[in-house]
């Protein structure tokens, strides 16, 4: 392909790639609240106009690879943690923020209202879970 065509193709694709990086869609390395401990890989995808996220892999060497969500209280009860859908019903709020959905903590079985916000050019994701006025925020790292 001649150099001019390569540049033209790159120019056409760059806004698409920038938009893809500015959304939560992709594979993320979850980092625990301590900001250091890598816990899992979560794949966020779009399904029917909402975002969902499932655990692809556990990274903690102490984690049981065959663990089940025994503390879950809904349809996810006793399902394997790897493959478990932990993010559901998230929609764009505008201004680069997604919310209105929920995130499940498979360690305690609790679900939290959630807000997702890509930061640092889409390289990181602020994942915030709420119960009433209380919240906790983790920063996840984009893998792909």
- Tens-level pLDDT at each residue, the chain (144 residues): 554 443 344 444 434 434 445 899 999 999 888 888 899 999 999 999 999 999 999 998 888 989 999 999 999 999 999 999 999 999 998 889 999 999 999 999 999 999 999 999 999 999 999 998 999 999 999 998
d(CA 14, CA 52): 25
Domains of the chain, first to last: 3-142 (2.40.128.520)
Strands 85-94 and 97-105, sheet pairing: antiparallel
pLDDT in tens, 124-138: 999 999 998 999 999
- Residue 14: predicted pLDDT: 38
pTM attached to this predicted model: 0.82
For 78, which DSSP code?
T
């Amino acid at each position: 392909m001649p150099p001019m065509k390569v540049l033209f193709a790159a120019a056409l694709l760059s806004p698409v790639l920038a938009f893809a990086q500015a959304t939560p869609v992709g594979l993320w390395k979850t980092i625990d609240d301590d900001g250091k401990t890598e816990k899992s890989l979560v794949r966020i995808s779009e399904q029917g106009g909402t975002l969902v996220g499932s655990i692809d892999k556990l990274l903690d060497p102490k984690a049981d690879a065959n663990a089940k969500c025994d503390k879950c209280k809904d349809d996810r009860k006793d399902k394997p943690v790897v493959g478990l859908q932990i993010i559901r019903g998230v929609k764009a709020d505008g201004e680069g923020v997604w919310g209105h959905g929920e995130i499940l903590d498979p360690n305690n079985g609790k679900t939290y209202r959630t807000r997702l916000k890509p930061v640092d050019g889409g390289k990181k994701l602020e994942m915030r879970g709420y119960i009433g006025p209380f919240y906790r925020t983790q920063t996840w790292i984009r893998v792909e």
